[in-house]
Amino acid sequence: MYTKNIARLADKLRFVSVFVLIALLVVGFLLKDKAGIEYFLYPVYDDKEVIDSVFEEENPFVVMYPNADEEKAVAVAAAIAEDKDAEAVTTYANTLGISLSASDAMAMIKTQFSDLTAGFPDELIEGMIESLFKEYLQKDALDGTERVEMYPFVSWVLEYVQTDESFGSLLSDEIKEQCVSAKAMLDSAKNQLVGENYSRIMITTSLQKESDEAFAFVERLDSLLKENLDEYYIMGNTYLAYEMRASYTDEVNLITLISVIFIFIVVAVTFKSLIIPTVLVALIQCAVYLTLSFSYLANLEFYYLAVIIVQAILMGATIDYAILFTNNYRDSRKISDRADSIAAAYSHSMHTILTSSSILFFVTLILGLTAKDPSMVQVCLAIAIGSFFAVALCIIVLPGILAALDKPICYSAKKWEELSLKIKESYRKRRAEKHTEKE
């Protein structure tokens, strides 16, 4: 009784169903690009809130450039440091490569190597630095304008004080070991900034990794580097996400086109019709668009792989529900009117559709709500939401569309049956003629 009433209502509202599908397709298509898409899923740990309350999250960038462009890189690093979102910029030039005067060297050595200078009077240290400057620059006297590059000078000092007799006699074995350790630490620091062919600029920010502000910073950084360096490479999670975002739309469109074409062909061959695969593919693609639109309206973000997986699963799995309903409608339509055929399609299809879709929906929903792995959560929730929309469209909208397009749908089936009968009849006649000729 209820089935017949619903079927009659669907028949009366058949043209409204067509309008609803078209409207949902248009709205979903317009909103799908506004959906929040994540390109990285970061592990969730139990103490994240506690740690974040103490330590501010960092979002580093690394720029690699040829060693030959060191002078250009100095100006580039200075320009990057002026950016409002760059909290720290580290290069060889502004760390190990800084220029030191004798007084600067004394202050730096007392600060950075306090273990080595502890217990020595400032006058003695100053005299030692002056003596080391003279030896390093091979000068008999200093005029106060001399400057040296930090890394080579300090490296030379750490080696020289161990081998020179006048200094060596003042140093204990423990201090000499500390000199060796300090030299190794200095070399390691340089190797992190300067390689055999390329050097690095390390940029520290606290921008959210996939925020609009972070992507804007990437654009400014890329523009600055492009203006000043002939060759460079940017690394970092945000930059990789930025590049993935640039190609995401084209990749999703390609995947959508391929899946639509192949499923269209399969359904067209199955039903021997062009109108039916058009309707069914549009229906399931509408469910995909509604899933993305829902994420935008609900302020949710989907992992980009989840979107691709949902596209494939909805097209490959939930379209079966639409195929089942359509097939039952066409079979019943041979002997019944539109409303009774819709009722028959409901009666013969709902048990299978609701059983299969309920398993898909509830299993993925429960996993999405309880799983700890962020990728599993995103994929399962996206499938649950997408399957819900797909089934809802199949149950609510599809019956009215089938009724609205009843003539072309039934006409194609009838014409195919007539064509099949003609082919079979022609084949029988040819066989009969050949049999007669043999006799």
Is the model's pLDDT at 340 over the cut of 60?
A: yes
Question: What pLDDT is stored for residue 423 in this prediction?
Answer: 53
* Torsion of the alpha carbons at 280, 285, 287 and 290, rounded to the nearest 10: -150
Residues 283 and 412 in one domain: yes
Q: Is 366 inside a domain boundary?
A: yes
Question: What pLDDT is stored for residue 397 in this prediction?
Answer: 92
25 and 288 Cβ atoms separated by less than 8 Å:
no
Say how far apart CA 238 and CA 163 lie, in whole Å: 48
Check the CA dihedral 268-270-271-272 and report its sign: positive
Residues 402 and 259 in one domain: yes
Is the model's pLDDT at 122 over the cut of 80?
A: no
Among 300-304, 335-339, 344-348, name the one with the lowest average pLDDT: 300-304
Q: Residue 4 is encoded by which pair of tokens?
A: 């017949």
Question: What pLDDT is stored for residue 186 in this prediction?
Answer: 84
Count of structural domains within the chain: 3
Check the CA dihedral 16-22-23-24 and report its sign: positive
Residues 85 and 104 in one domain: no
Say how far apart CA 336 and CA 406 lie, in whole Å: 12
- Confidence band of 139 (pLDDT split at 50, 70, 90): confident
Highest mean pLDDT among 96-110, 221-235, 297-311: 221-235
DSSP 395: I
Question: What pLDDT is stored for residue 54 in this prediction?
Answer: 62
Q: Is 416 inside a domain boundary?
A: yes
Residue 213's domain comprises: 61-92+196-235
Q: Is 355 inside a domain boundary?
A: yes
Among 90-94, 203-207, 300-304, 435-439, name the one with the lowest average pLDDT: 435-439
Say how far apart CA 34 and CA 232 lie, in whole Å: 32
Residues 342 and 425 in one domain: yes
- Which DSSP helix (H) or strand (E) runs through 382? helix 374-392
Say how far apart CA 126 and CA 271 lie, in whole Å: 94
Residues 395 and 312 in one domain: yes
Q: Is 384 inside a domain boundary?
A: yes
Render the burial of 340-362: b for 16+ CB within 10 Å, e for the rest. bbbbbbbebbbeebeebbeebbe
pLDDT tens-digit profile of 345-392? 898 989 899 998 899 899 999 988 888 777 788 888 888 998 999 999
For the chain, give the mean pLDDT: 81
- Confidence band of 46 (pLDDT split at 50, 70, 90): low
Residues 270 and 361 in one domain: yes
Is the model's pLDDT at 125 over the cut of 60?
A: yes
- Confidence band of 338 (pLDDT split at 50, 70, 90): confident
Identify any residues that bridge with 60 across adjacent strands, giving them in sequence order: none
pLDDT tens-digit profile of 25-45? 999 888 887 877 787 766 555
Is the model's pLDDT at 126 over the cut of 80?
A: no
Residues 269 and 374 in one domain: yes
Q: Is 336 inside a domain boundary?
A: yes
Q: Residue 339 is encoded by which pair of tokens?
A: 């409303």
240 or 167: whose pLDDT is higher? 240
CATH number of the domain residue 259 falls in:
1.20.1640.10
- For Cα atoms 235, 236, 241, give the angle at the middle one, nearest 5 degrees: 110
Contacts of 375 (CB under 8 A, 6+ apart): 41, 303, 305, 306
Say how far apart CA 25 and CA 23 lie, in whole Å: 5
Show which of 207, 235, 263 is a domain's final residue: 235
CATH number of the domain residue 79 falls in:
3.30.70
- Which DSSP helix (H) or strand (E) runs through 227? helix 212-228
Question: What pLDDT is stored for residue 120 in this prediction?
Answer: 61
Region 401-408: what's the mean pLDDT?
85
Question: What pLDDT is stored for residue 222 in this prediction?
Answer: 92
Region 134-148: what's the mean pLDDT?
79
Check the CA dihedral 78-79-80-81 and report its sign: positive
- Confidence band of 149 (pLDDT split at 50, 70, 90): confident
Contacts of 358 (CB under 8 A, 6+ apart): none
- Confidence band of 185 (pLDDT split at 50, 70, 90): confident
Give which of 36, 12, 28, 3 is closest to 284, Cα–Cα: 28
Q: Residue 345 is encoded by which pair of tokens?
A: 């399609």
Residues 271 and 172 in one domain: no
Residues 38 and 153 in one domain: no
Among 220-234, 277-291, 408-422, name the one with the lowest average pLDDT: 408-422
Say how far apart CA 265 and CA 280 lie, in whole Å: 12
Residues 290 and 202 in one domain: no
Q: Is 208 inside a domain boundary?
A: yes
Show which of 169, 204, 235 is a domain's final residue: 235
Region 166-184: what's the mean pLDDT?
71
DSSP 194: B
Say how far apart CA 234 and CA 218 lie, in whole Å: 9
pLDDT tens-digit profile of 317-333? 788 899 899 888 888 88
Question: What pLDDT is stored for residue 152 in this prediction?
Answer: 84
Please report, rounded to a whole number, the percentage of residues in the chain having pLDDT higher than 70.
83
Instruction: Name the region of 39 (left: φ>0; alpha: ψ -120 to 50; beta: rest).
Output: alpha
Show which of 211, 235, 259 is a domain's final residue: 235
Is the model's pLDDT at 404 over the cut of 70?
A: yes
Distance between the two ends of the chain, CA-based, in angstroms? Answer: 62
Q: Is 393 inside a domain boundary?
A: yes
Residues 117 and 133 in one domain: yes
Q: Is 340 inside a domain boundary?
A: yes
- Confidence band of 63 (pLDDT split at 50, 70, 90): very high
Residues 201 and 332 in one domain: no
